[in-house]
């Protein structure tokens, strides 16, 4: 199956629809009057849909097992057409579109099976996804905003050419995939005055996003958070709480990160670990949803 370990849990919803066409009004009347020989058609179909939703991962090879936290099955009759609507919710790393469609298809097959003794011309017309929310669908709103970022690597060893910068380059590549331009990339030593200079320069030149990479640990030379924090106009604690929680679920030492985040003027400032894995995990944990901060301070309304 596709690797989803880098994803974060979000509320995801999907609504699927199936339509069943019967050939005569007498069939509809039998359904409405509960006179179908095999039983109450809609009750059976609803139960079948619920089973279908729950068992999707057992039957569709690439579907991940996931917690189904809400399912609703609705029926509507228009002339000779029966519409089945299945809505599914989860809080997980991947969506529930296939679960909703599978539930709708099983409900439609159940209708077909129960109605065929009284109507030989029942047709399942279509099964389709009507809507989905959560995951990549919602994240598109943060992209294509013409954002510019500065990435500053804080490292004595890299600045002295004793080691190669991998974390900063990984951050830049990840930003570019989000259509965020990175016109500023520099490597500086773990020096408070150098850090302050870069923060000052890149929060006054129209840069919307400043990411400081490195110096967030507990060694004596890890001074990035200590230097950046007093410079923040408004600290945003929840950002790094989210990043640390994400990291801790994947390795036992993420809790030692002292990263901070906040606003200076109109610039969002983030401090990332200097390791490749740490910086990559912070990007996975925070982006692109953290960009909503920039929408808010630019005057957009909070999303509901």
Annotated catalytic sites, by residue?
Answer: 113
Alpha-carbon distance 244 to 257, whole Å?
A: 7
In angstroms, the Cα distances linking 199 to 206, 227, 230, 232 are 12, 10, 11, 10
Pairing, β 267-272 against β 209-213: parallel
Half-sphere exposure of 144 (CA within 13 A, CB side): 3
């Amino acid at each position: 199956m596709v690797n989803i370990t880098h994803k974060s849990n979000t509320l995801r919803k999907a609504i699927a629809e199936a339509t069943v066409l019967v050939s005569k009004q007498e069939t509809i009347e039998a359904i409405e009057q509960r006179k179908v020989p095999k039983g109450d058609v809609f009750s059976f179909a609803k139960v079948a849909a619920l089973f279908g939703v729950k068992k999707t991962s057992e039957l569709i090879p690439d579907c991940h097992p996931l917690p189904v936290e809400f399912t609703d099955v609705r029926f509507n009759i228009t002339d000779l057409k029966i519409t089945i609507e299945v809505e599914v919710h989860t809080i997980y790393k991947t969506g529930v579109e296939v679960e909703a469609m599978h539930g709708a298809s099983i409900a439609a097959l159940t209708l077909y099976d129960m109605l065929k003794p009284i109507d030989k011309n029942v047709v399942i017309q279509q099964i389709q996804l009507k809507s989905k929310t959560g995951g990549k669908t919602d994240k598109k709103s943060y992209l294509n905003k013409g954002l510019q970022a500065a990435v500053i690597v804080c490292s004595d060893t890299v600045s002295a050419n004793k080691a190669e910068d991998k974390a900063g380059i990984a951050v830049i590549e990840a930003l570019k995939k989000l259509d965020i331009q990175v016109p500023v990339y520099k490597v500086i030593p773990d020096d408070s005055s150098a850090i302050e200079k870069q923060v000052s320069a890149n929060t006054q030149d129209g840069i919307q996003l400043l990411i400081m990479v490195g110096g967030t640990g507990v060694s004596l030379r890890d001074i990035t958070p200590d230097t950046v924090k007093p410079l923040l106009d408004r600290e945003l604690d929840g950002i790094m709480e989210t990043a640390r929680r994400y990291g801790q679920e994947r390795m036992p030492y993420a809790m030692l990160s002292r990263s901070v985040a906040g606003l200076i003027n109109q610039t969002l400032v983030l401090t990332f670990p200097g390791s490749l894995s740490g910086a990559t995990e912070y990007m996975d944990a925070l982006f692109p949803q953290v960009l909503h901060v920039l929408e808010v301070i630019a005057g957009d309304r909070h999303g509901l």
